[in-house]
Amino acid sequence: MTGLSDPRYRALAATQFSSVTPENAMKWERVEGNRHAHTWAAADAIARFATENDQKLRGHTLVWHDQLPRWLTDGHFTPAELRTLLRTHVTTLAQRYAGAVTAWDVVNEPLDDDGSPHRTLWHDALGSDYIAQVLTWAHAADPGARLYLNEFNVHEESPKTKALYNLAASLLDRGVPLHGIGFQCHLLLGQDVSELARTLNRFAELGLEVAITELGVRMLSPVTSAKLAAQAACYRAVVEECLAVPACTGLTIWGVGDAAAWVPEGSRSPYGSPTLYDDEYRPKPAREAVARALGTVP
Ligand code: XIL
């Protein structure tokens, strides 16, 4: 939710969605940019927004290698110190939003495309078992929240998808509190999503929930009506695949409108327009396609 100050954004976010996620406001650099000086206002406002609008709140994200505060990345901490810092961070956030957050993206993007663990501050200091530890800490802090691993580029079979499956299976085998897998789904127009439902089902067979957590379908500029139609078809396919999988608990679109979407976001990227509403918050063809797939349009 990066556009909350715009009344058009607020109105759509309040009325068109049954679940919200903060996008950035709960990331470590935002809640503790200065050590020991927490800034909760933005994250609290989103939690309040969800309550006021009777929406679920998806927490994002407890552990990631990106958007960390400088004091942490430049702090030259020992592994033992990093472990304590991480534990405190996870516990503080999960406790603060206990009861408000339905599900947490606990660990974000833990794997590389070749399936090996992504080498991060956390992995290097604590070893690959940091994932089991943070899930355990998060569960202790908020036993009611559904706990997810969240990953990108896993909507079809690949070395990364296989590694994620093996990781999830081994965590479950060990009794680690893992409840679901988030499939980010930042898609590029033209990408094949026909294997999505099958992939979701494979994870569901482990006894896990699954969710589409960051859906977007970006396109190369210029935007044309043909591209918008293809985008609508892609959105519709993804929604239908989630609906076809009983374990698919939800679908989050990464941004309300193209006006405040994270692609191209300040860069000169030729890609953009990933969401359901355009730069003026007018509905795009994809908006109707999603509504049709959900059965909310006659
Ligand atoms: C993005 C935000 O949307 C941007 O505003 C921010 O500048 C960078 O992060 N995968 C994730 C999200 O899990 O947290 C990222 O969000 C997009 C990619």
Reported as type and span, the H/E element at residue 80 is helix 79-96
Pocket test for ligand 1, best of 149, 252, 254, 269 (most atoms within 8 A of CB): 254
Is pLDDT above 80 for 227?
yes
Interatomic CA distance for residues 40 and 298, integer angstroms: 42
CA of 224 to the centre of ligand 1 (A): 26
Instruction: Quote the pLDDT of residue 269.
Output: 81
State which amino acid sits at residue 112: D
| 109 in active site | yes
For residue 149, being part of any structural domain is answered with: yes
CA of 174 to the centre of ligand 1 (A): 31
Over the stretch 2-32, which tens digit does the pLDDT of each residue have? Answer: 788 899 999 999 999 999 999 999 999 999 9
Tell whether omega for the bond before 264 is within 30 degrees of 0, i.e. cis: yes
Average of per-residue pLDDT across 54-69: 98
Q: Are 116 and 163 in contact (CB under 8 A)?
A: yes
Q: Which residue has the tokens 């893992």?
A: 178
Q: Does some domain include residue 16?
A: yes
Domain that residue 277 falls in: 7-294
Q: Is the residue at 108 inside a domain?
A: yes
Active-site choice (109, 151, 209, 241)? 109
Q: What's the 67 CA to ligand 1 centre distance in angstroms?
A: 9
pLDDT of 117 reads 98
Read off the pTM: 0.97
Per-residue model confidence (pLDDT) at position 157: 97
Total domain count for the chain? Answer: 1
User: What tens digit of pLDDT does each residue of 89-148 get?
Assistant: 999 999 999 999 999 999 999 999 999 999 999 999 999 999 999 999 999 999 999 999
Distance 286 CA to ligand 1 centre (A): 22
Return the pLDDT at 253. 98
Q: What is the pLDDT of residues 251-273, one digit of tens each?
A: 999 999 999 999 876 667 889 99
Per-residue confidence (pLDDT) for residue 40, from 0 to 100: 98
Q: Residue 155 falls within a domain, yes or no?
A: yes
Among 153, 262, 269, the mutation site with the greatest number of ligand 1 atoms within 8 A of its Cβ is 262
108: Cβ contacts below 8 Å, ≥ 6 apart:
60, 61, 63, 64, 66, 150, 151
Query: Residue 267: its pLDDT value, please?
Result: 62
Listed residue (138, 137, 6) closest to 59, CA to CA: 138
Quick check: 248 and 238 in contact, CB under 8 A? Answer: no
Q: Is residue 265 flagged as an active site residue?
A: no
Please list every protein residue whose CB sits less than 6 Å from any atom of ligand 1. 2, 23-24, 108, 184, 214, 262, 265
CA of 12 to the centre of ligand 1 (A): 20
164 part of a folded domain: yes
Mean pLDDT over residues 197-206, rounded? 98
> What confidence category does residue 281 fall into, taking pLDDT thresholds of 50, 70 and 90?
very high
CA distance 146 to 48: 20
Q: What confidence tier does 47 reach under pLDDT thresholds 50, 70, 90?
A: very high
Mean pLDDT of the chain: 96
- Of all atoms in ligand 1, which is nearest to the CA of residue 152? 10
Asked whether residue 2 is assigned to any structural domain, the reply reads no
- State residue 298's pLDDT score: 62
Structural domain contains residue 1: no
* SS3 category, 78: coil
Determine the average pLDDT of the residues in 203-212: 98
Grade residue 84 by pLDDT with cuts at 50, 70 and 90.
very high
Tokens of 116: 């090996």
What is the domain-level CATH number for residue 134?
A: 3.20.20.80
Distance between CA atoms of residues 247 and 198, nearest Å: 12
CA distances from 9 to 4, 20, 262 (A): 6, 12, 14
Question: What is the atom index within ligand 1 of the atom nearest the CA of 186?
Answer: 18
pLDDT band at 37 (very low <50, low <70, confident <90, very high): very high
Distance (Å, whole) CA 72 – CA 28: 10
Confirm if 272 and 264 have CB atoms less than 8 A apart.
yes
In a mutational test of the pocket of ligand 1, which residue from 24, 148, 184 has the highest number of ligand atoms less than 8 Å from its CB? 24
Alpha helices in 97-158 (DSSP H): 121-126, 130-141
In a domain, 159, yes or no: yes
DSSP 195-244: THHHHHHHHHTTT-EEEEEEEEEEEESSP-HHHHHHHHHHHHHHHHHHHH
Which residues are CB-neighbours of 180 under 8 A, at least 6 positions away? Answer: 103, 146, 147, 148, 149, 208, 209, 210, 211, 249
3-state DSSP helix/strand/coil percent for the chain, to nearest 5? 40, 20, 40
